[in-house]
Structure 1
Amino acid sequence: MVGCSNGDSTAPATTSASSAATSANPGGTRIVIEDFTFSPTNLRVRNGAKVTVVNRDSDAHTVTAAQDKVFDTGNITGGVTTTFTAPSTPGSYSYLCTLHPNMKGTLIVT
């Protein structure tokens, strides 16, 4: 399930149609979980970047790499914020919530 959210106050000041679904913030970045969706769905980060995950739902969720679990937050209780480190190898990493496998996103490491 993919959804849109305009409640993220850290969105870049200028966006285009192509960047609306992708966020880039080399100094640190975040994924917001709300209404059983990841926002943004596609997130571009530098290798080794610290990624903050904010769970705004009341249910627990995870952010887990689909292959080899190169990153896995474990269960994030509702209302809790946690962090993980992006992989050091550049590439595209699909991730999901292991508790709700219909929740999917992509971490693009540069």
Structure 2
Amino acid sequence: MVLTIAVLCMLITLVGCSASGGSAPSSPAPSTPSATSVSEERIVIKNFRFEPADLTVAPGAKVSVVNEDSAPHTVTAQAANAFDTSTIEGGQTTTFTAPSTAGTYRYLCGIHPSMTGTLTVR
């Protein structure tokens, strides 16, 4: 019985392959997002510095912030309500959305104001 089923499966497979003429499948391949449609930028906090200190992103881009220090930090825009990560504990990662309006946004760490950077949206 098992052998009969196995033989039938093989025959169906062979008939299916020969009926298609060996051509490629007619259904389109699933699409994958292109590099331009998915944009995730990244700021790393390390040794009480933002790396890179100056970052250029597209409007509305997702920006990941990785805190590699043991101390907590923030990424807080100096322009009111532009973006603010709140406190990111040491070893943690968070994400914020860049403003949708083009421009240059200076930011700092709200806990350590000597830490500064610039986010350019274009």
Work out whether 1:93 is the aligned partner of 2:105. yes
The higher relative CO (CA closer than 8 Å, separation ≥ 6) is in 1
Over aligned residues, Cα RMSD in angstroms? Answer: 0.9
Task: Give the aligned partner of residue 23 of structure 1.
Answer: none
Q: Which has more helix, going by share of residues?
A: 2
Larger-gyration structure (1/2) = 2
Select 1:65's aligned residue among 77, 92, 98: 77
Task: Give the aligned partner of residue 82 of structure 1.
Answer: 94
Find the aligned partners of 1:96 and 1:69 in 2 and give their Cα distance.
14
Work out whether 1:41 is the aligned partner of 2:41. no
Task: Give the aligned partner of residue 21 of structure 1.
Answer: none
Find the aligned partners of 1:40 and 1:70 in 2 and give their Cα distance.
19
TM-score of the aligned structures, taking structure 1 as reference length: 0.76
**Matched residue pairs, number?**
85
Which structure 1 residue ranges, 4+ long, deviate > 6 Å from structure 2? none
Identical amino acids, percent of aligned pairs: 59
Where 1:100 maps in the other structure, the secondary structure is coil
Find the aligned partners of 2:75 and 2:81 in 1 and give their Cα distance.
10
